[in-house]
Amino acid sequence: MLASDPGVLETPAVQWSSGVLRTVREPLALEEPLALEIAYARGGTAVRRLIATTMRTPGADEDLAAGFLFAEGLIAERGDVVSFAAAERNSRGEAIATLTATLRAAPRENLERVSRSLLTSSACGLCGRPSLEGLRASAVTAGGARWQAEVLSALPERLRDAQPLFAATGGSHGAGLATAAGEIAFVREDVGRHNAVDKVVGAALAQGSPPFGGHALVLSGRASFELVQKAAAAGIPVIVAVGAPSSLALRLATEAGQTLLGFTRDGRFTLYTGAARLDGHGTA
């Protein structure tokens, strides 16, 4: 089973338990680099541009690319991408798995701000950025769906049940989009937290599911600044995390008008901001 899973690598290892050593084969979540490029026409001239190089778990690469381009403001909908093309070298001739998205029109966003051409780690979506400037998102629409505390507290467990890569390896992050009824509509996994979020947003875009105003983003780990920013950019009003938010993540969620929950497990959670979306609660 593991050998056929493109996201899993088996490796020999030694386990120690109760004073006994034994040789085992241990499943690991696969991590490999991917270069993301865009191609478009400007003034009759064909342009191909390296946007980012990131570490990710192979699989759902088109979802990853679409979610990333959407979060960065390079596309407004999935239809803005005419096609994807995979290659073994990037536009600089470097031998690295590359996915190129051909855009219907030239992007209006400042590519110098967006570009993350430095190699980033799977845990860092901001590495290589010159600054945090421009990453703050506009406010999320107020109102919308009302959320029951019991539904919110159960979402991480439901996400975990839909994470086969984590079940096999214990080495991946998960991101899900959930409805106010408690249904996990989309799930994606990756060794990188930000990659998992880009993938799940991209998957929803591919199914034509936006707007995201009636959904919660469920995170298998902590809520970092960039994950909150990606949710705000997509218009996702509720974030449910198993771990804690960072101080900057909380500041951004408050500014964006989002509802942010942390330590959501074992039938409990900590609400940091946005209580107005919970039934029976006043404004945070």
pLDDT tens by residue, 199-213: 999 999 999 988 899
Tell me the average pLDDT across 134-154: 78
- Which stretch, 10-14, 21-25, 104-108, 220-224, has highest mean pLDDT? 220-224
Identity of the highest mean pLDDT range in 20-34, 156-170, 242-256: 156-170
What average pLDDT does this structure show over 118-124? 54
Mean pLDDT of 243-268: 90
Beta bridge partners of 268: 265
Q: Which residue has the higher pLDDT, 234 or 283?
A: 234
Mean pLDDT of the chain: 86
At 124, is the pLDDT very low, low, confident or very high (cuts 50, 70, 90)? low
The whole-number average pLDDT for the span 29-54 is 91
Rounded average pLDDT over 65-88: 94
pLDDT over 80 at 186, yes or no: yes
Distance of alpha carbon 115 from alpha carbon 33, whole angstroms: 16
- Better-predicted residue by pLDDT, 11 or 34: 34
Q: How confident is the model at residue 24 (pLDDT cuts 50, 70, 90)?
A: confident
159 pLDDT more than 60: yes
pLDDT at 270 over 70: yes
**pLDDT tops 50 at residue 193:** yes
**Cis amide prior to 6 (ω within 30 degrees):** no
Give the pLDDT score at 133: 40
Is-catalytic flag, 124?
yes
Mean pLDDT of 7-20: 80
The predicted model scores a pTM of 0.82
d(C-alpha 16, C-alpha 13), whole Å: 10
Given the residues 99, 111, 119, 124, select the one marked as catalytic: 124
Q: Give the per-residue pLDDT at 43.
A: 86
